A = this chain, B = another copy of it.
Amino acid sequence: MMKRLKSKYEILRQKIYIVIYGSNTPEGKLFDLVLLLVILLSVAMVMIDSVKSVDPKYHNFLYYGEWVVTVFFTLEYILRLLCNKKPLSYVFSFYGIVDLISLLPMYLSYFFPEASFLIAFRAIRLLRLFAILDLMPIIGQQSHLKLALNASKHKIIVFMYFMIVMSIVLGTLMYIIEGGHNGFTDIPNSVYWCIVTMTTVGYGDIAPITYVGKTIASFIMIMGYGIIAVPTGIVTAEYTNLKYNNSELKTRIVCPECTSFIYDLDANFCSNCGAKLLNTEKLQTDE
């Protein structure tokens, strides 16, 4: 039987759940918008607070503002815990951990003033924006991209692994050649230089001075410049592939909470995190 008696509390819990986790009702949209603005405000305050040249009286003002924001997010965190049937799945989900890390430093800094340098961690609250944006139609655009990146994941990890191994080998070689001079003081620094060079970043804080070193550096640069083709080729091929195989895409549901894919189209709850799946949250495909 679908119909059964719900306690008053259960109905309230259900309502709050839909407002907080859903984005289809007007209340859910308003909640997301408020959350978005408070997150942006909070991050702006963290950033301004770190600037030394800002007038001390503003720092005082920022301090109170940060406590207001912290209380707001503490309440939101408690609400999320209370309205979720499986609160632990939220606590140990990616965004649950993000929420906790961005809340704790403020309380810690109150009890242990020496931990105050941690309060900058509140900025990781910004990662929450990805969760909010995932619920919005504009990101339906991203779906193909996500699938393509998912399909390319293993290959890109192998590629990055290749780059790190080559950096260690070539960095060691440069350490032997430049022999501790001009920033190549030890192997970790030489490897760091090699990554800076291969990725074409090139700070210039460490740079070869010997002719042999410069010659090898030249080959590392040309190699780094050439192999950028590899991740690009992988993503392009996967993305083109997916663009032309829409059908496969349409048979998936994406969980609004943990963004994992659910292949059982009749599922009502996410098999990964237990979030409720609403029909309207099925993945939006391009065209």
- Give chain A's interface residues, CB within 8 Å of chain B: 43, 46-47, 50-52, 117-118, 120-121, 123-124, 126-127, 129-130, 133, 138-139, 141-142, 145, 148-149, 152, 154-156, 158-165, 167-169, 172-173, 175-176, 179, 185-189, 191-192, 195-205, 207, 211, 214-215, 217-218, 221-222, 224-226, 228-241, 243
> How near does chain B come to A233, taking the closest CB pair, in angstroms?
4
> How near does chain B come to A210, taking the closest CB pair, in angstroms?
11
Of the candidates A159, A239, A241, the one having the most CB atoms from chain B within 10 angstroms of its own CB is: A239
Closest residue of chain B to A163 (Cβ to Cβ) is: B222
Q: Is the CB of A123 within 8 A of B169?
A: yes
Closest residue of chain B to A222 (Cβ to Cβ) is: B160
Q: Is the CB of A121 within 8 A of B172?
A: yes
Q: Is the CB of B236 within 8 A of A51?
A: no
A221-B201, A236-B240 as given contacts; A188 in contact with B228, CB under 8 Å: no
Q: Note all chain B residues with C-beta closer than 8 A to A224.
A: 199, 201, 225
Closest residue of chain B to A152 (Cβ to Cβ) is: B229
Secondary structure at the A interface, as helix, strand, loop or mixed, is helix
Q: Is the CB of B222 within 8 A of A232?
A: no
Nearest 7 interchain pairs by C-beta = A201-B202, A203-B204, A199-B225, A123-B172, A233-B235, A229-B235, A233-B236
Q: Is the CB of A237 within 8 A of B243?
A: yes
Q: Is the CB of A234 within 8 A of B229?
A: yes
Alpha-carbon distance A37/B121, docked complex (angstroms): 34
Alpha-carbon distance A130/B166, docked complex (angstroms): 10
Closest residue of chain B to A190 (Cβ to Cβ) is: B50
Q: Is the CB of B186 within 8 A of A52?
A: yes
A-B contact sample (11 more), CB < 8 A, given A50-B186, A145-B155: A47-B191, A51-B187, A141-B154, A142-B158, A159-B226, A167-B218, A196-B202, A200-B201, A200-B225, A202-B202, A205-B207
